[in-house]
Amino acid sequence: MARVDAGALNDIFDNTPGRVEQPVVQCVQIKKIASQESAGPERYRVVFSDTKNYVQTMLATAANHHIHSGALKRGGLLQLLGYQANNVRHKKILIVTDLKCLDEYGELKKLGDPKPLEVNPEEDSESHPTTITSNAFYGNNSSQHQQPMASHAKTPTSSDHANIYPIEGLSPYSHKWTIKARCTNKSDIRTWHNRNGEGKLFSVNLLDESGEIRATGFNDQCDQLYDLFQEGSVYYITSPCKVQIAKKQFSNINNDYELTFERETRVEKAEDQQDVPQVKFHFTRISELASVEKDNTIDVIGILRDVGETSQIISKTTSKPYDKRELTLVDQTGFSVRLTVWGKTASSFDVPPESVVAFKGVKVSDFGGRSLSLLSSGSMTANPDIQEAYKLKGWYSNGGQSENFSTHANVTSTVIGGTRSDPFKTIIEVKDEQLGMSENADWFSVKASIQHIKQASFCYPSCLTEGCNKKVVEIDPGQWRCERCDKNHPKPEYRYILSVNVSDHTGQLWLSCFDDTGRQLIGMTADQLMEIKETNVKKLADILSDANCRTWNFKCKAKMDVFQEEQRQVLSLVAAKSSYTDEIHRVRYQVQAASALNLVAESEKLIALIKQYNID
């Protein structure tokens, strides 16, 4: 049987010379603890025993897979490979970043009669934690005078950066620590003004082998540290530096805590830049976006299929203009998605089409089905040196570039419209059942083909202010007035308001589609189509004609509406908004979302219908 290293835990906390650096211990308890955020990573408190003593242990999330797989279990033996000893609130806490489960010994009864490790007052106030790493990741070079700690991974040099903490081990109760981390993202300097005064701030994302954390500098620290940090470089960061509960609304980092730089915080660029990992990605395939909930944050990689022009939007909160640029990504799943970048990333974007681009920290939107937006705390890497990038490039070079790609809008109607379950109706059923004639709205879906799109008044000039979208009026050349915002703009943003005639095997309806659905049906923005109209009316007609004879699933809402002092029935489609009054039925149809046919799903529906007839 494997020998449990009795007394090893006490030796770790005492940093005893000649001690066993990778001891074998027994797991005597496993308990899942609640995260600070409901969406945060799972965390486990584990108790390890060396037969003489036992100690409370926090398991790094990177080691959670040992529990999930069932390898780490109560009564099992294991070898500690990477750990950090800490004294917290008069308790000894061991943070384990790496371990090896000795599965061959199975589950045993508790060995020995272990006693808890205790902290004496002198030890609690002047602790010199022991750090052990499994692969020489944590460096030992710098200029901070602290007691060197033992490490089986690398012999300490003349450097004074010995007390290297894993990011995973930081908490509000940590003190006298140094982390060695790579800056994976640096924000622009942002300013604020309120009744309490004004100020400025910036933030960086920091990464080491154990995890990530966000750090923010305010005012003086912003001035002192902003130019020092460079994306991709590795730094030593030494306390005092405040560790606090993370404000999740401002960050997509998977950590319950975040850092705030203080006046005495030391930041030094590391000489050794190679022993810290690059950006960690957890990619979601483009075809899988339909199953990702709105507002979730993901990582994505793809071939840059198209690069749009830079445009400006007026911020609703600051009334200042900022740049945006729309990109189109594709991958080997046969899907494409539109991704928007902002600010300096948009204005200085110089990545050529057909490059591989990886994005970390993009927000999922349900605009037009599914679209993505790069957050200010996110990052972009062109042609990254990772396996996924090489696979994508190989696929694209060997025929992928000639494929036809489905859009993220090809999701089922229940995904586009949310969780609402809307029954499919034929057009004749919509009319015969007089949907929308009651006080409450009626919701349904309909599968229909486009027969004609009216060329007149296919769009309107809208306000550039974010979230406004109201119609603007040209008061002078280059001056467009929005009465709602009480502002003038140099140009409008054109938005679709299409009148579309659709049909199925039972009848016809007129639908009015607003901007999000118009982009899907036409395949370009209203701004682009307006430019074509001004230069080539025939081409405009051809583009609208090309949208004919295509079949879509429309998600709809029907209700009574008062228009021109007259109550009439209004049908609003949640998949492609329509607004047209039928002369006989006095019905207006509006569409808010549309999805192209998913042939697999349509086939399954047809098979289910056939089975209802019990035909052998």
Residue ranges of the chain whose pLDDT lies below 70: 1-2, 34-41, 88-90, 119-163, 249-250, 315-319, 368, 408-422, 436-441, 559-588, 612-616
Reading the block at residue 83, the tokens are 């750990």
Q: What is the pLDDT of residues 55-67, one digit of tens each?
A: 888 888 778 888 9
Q: Quick check: 467 and 412 in contact, CB under 8 A?
A: no
Please state, in angstroms and rounded to a whole number, the distance separating the CA atoms of residues 293 and 151: 44
Please state, in angstroms and rounded to a whole number, the distance separating the CA atoms of residues 613 and 616: 9
In terms of C-beta distances under 8 Å and separation of at least 24 residues, what long-range contacts does 421-426 make, across chains too? 422/555, 422/556, 422/574, 426/504, 426/505, 426/506, 426/507
Please state, in angstroms and rounded to a whole number, the distance separating the CA atoms of residues 610 and 616: 10
The residue type of 236 is Y
Structure confidence at residue 241 (pLDDT): 92
Reading the block at residue 547, the tokens are 């949208």
Please state, in angstroms and rounded to a whole number, the distance separating the CA atoms of residues 257 and 252: 12
What ranges make up the beta strands (E) of 397-441? 406-407
Reading the block at residue 188, the tokens are 């622009």
CA-closest candidate to residue 556, choices 442, 452, 448, 451? 442
Residue with tokens 């509006």: 590
Region 286-407: CATH code: 2.40.50.140
Residue 341 to residues 243, 316, 344, Cα–Cα distance (Å): 30, 18, 9
Residue 564 to residues 241, 441, 561, 567, 589, Cα–Cα distance (Å): 64, 20, 10, 8, 17
CA angle (70, 72, 73) in 5-degree steps = 85
Q: Quick check: 487 and 464 in contact, CB under 8 A?
A: no
Structure confidence at residue 453 (pLDDT): 93
Region 167-269: CATH code: 2.40.50.140
Please state, in angstroms and rounded to a whole number, the distance separating the CA atoms of residues 317 and 93: 46
Superfamily of domain covering 424-458+497-563+584-596: Nucleic acid-binding proteins (2.40.50.140)
Structure confidence at residue 440 (pLDDT): 60
Residue with tokens 């110089």: 350
Q: Quick check: 510 and 450 in contact, CB under 8 A?
A: no
Please state, in angstroms and rounded to a whole number, the distance separating the CA atoms of residues 255 and 41: 8
The DSSP element (H or E) to which 341 belongs, if any, is strand 335-342
Please state, in angstroms and rounded to a whole number, the distance separating the CA atoms of residues 516 and 371: 11
Residue with tokens 């001891």: 23
Beta bridge partners of 449: 503, 551
Q: Strand, coil or helix: what is 430? A: helix
φ/ψ bin of 364: left (φ > 0), alpha (ψ from -120 to 50), beta (otherwise): beta
Which sign, positive or negative, has the C-alpha torsion 295, 297, 302, 307?
positive
CA-closest candidate to residue 328, choices 524, 543, 517? 524
CA angle (91, 79, 57) in 5-degree steps = 20
Structure confidence at residue 429 (pLDDT): 85
Structure confidence at residue 411 (pLDDT): 46
Q: Quick check: 268 and 142 in contact, CB under 8 A?
A: yes
Torsion angle, alpha carbons of 129, 133, 136, 142, to 10: -20
Structure confidence at residue 601 (pLDDT): 80
Beta bridge partners of 200: 191
Which sign, positive or negative, has the C-alpha torsion 72, 76, 80, 86?
positive
Is residue 387 exposed (0-12), middle (13-18) or buried (19+ Cβ within 10 Å)? Answer: exposed
Residue 610 to residues 450, 553, 603, 615, Cα–Cα distance (Å): 27, 21, 11, 7
Please state, in angstroms and rounded to a whole number, the distance separating the CA atoms of residues 44 and 35: 10
Q: Quick check: 605 and 447 in contact, CB under 8 A?
A: no
Question: Any idea where the domains of the chain sit in the sequence?
Answer: 8-116, 167-269, 286-407, 424-458+497-563+584-596
Beta bridge partners of 39: none
Its CATH architecture, for the domain 8-116, is Beta Barrel (2.40)
CA-closest candidate to residue 225, choices 206, 202, 244? 202
Structure confidence at residue 151 (pLDDT): 32
Q: Strand, coil or helix: what is 401? A: helix
Q: Quick check: 375 and 297 in contact, CB under 8 A?
A: yes
Residue 345 to residues 192, 230, 287, 349, Cα–Cα distance (Å): 21, 15, 25, 6
Q: What is the pLDDT of residues 554-595, one digit of tens each?
A: 887 776 654 444 444 545 444 433 333 343 335 567 777 888
Structure confidence at residue 157 (pLDDT): 37
φ/ψ bin of 512: left (φ > 0), alpha (ψ from -120 to 50), beta (otherwise): beta
Establish whether the linkage from the previous residue to 240 is cis, with ω within 30° of 0: yes
Structure confidence at residue 616 (pLDDT): 55
Q: Quick check: 255 and 212 in contact, CB under 8 A?
A: yes
CA angle (420, 252, 375) in 5-degree steps = 85
Q: Quick check: 55 and 48 in contact, CB under 8 A?
A: yes
Q: Quick check: 170 and 131 in contact, CB under 8 A?
A: no
Please state, in angstroms and rounded to a whole number, the distance separating the CA atoms of residues 216 and 261: 6
Structure confidence at residue 14 (pLDDT): 82
CA-closest candidate to residue 78, choices 93, 96, 60? 96
Q: What is the DSSP string of 188-232?
A: PPEEEEETTEEEEEEEEEEE-SS-EEEEEEETHHHHHHTTT--TT
Structure confidence at residue 101 (pLDDT): 92
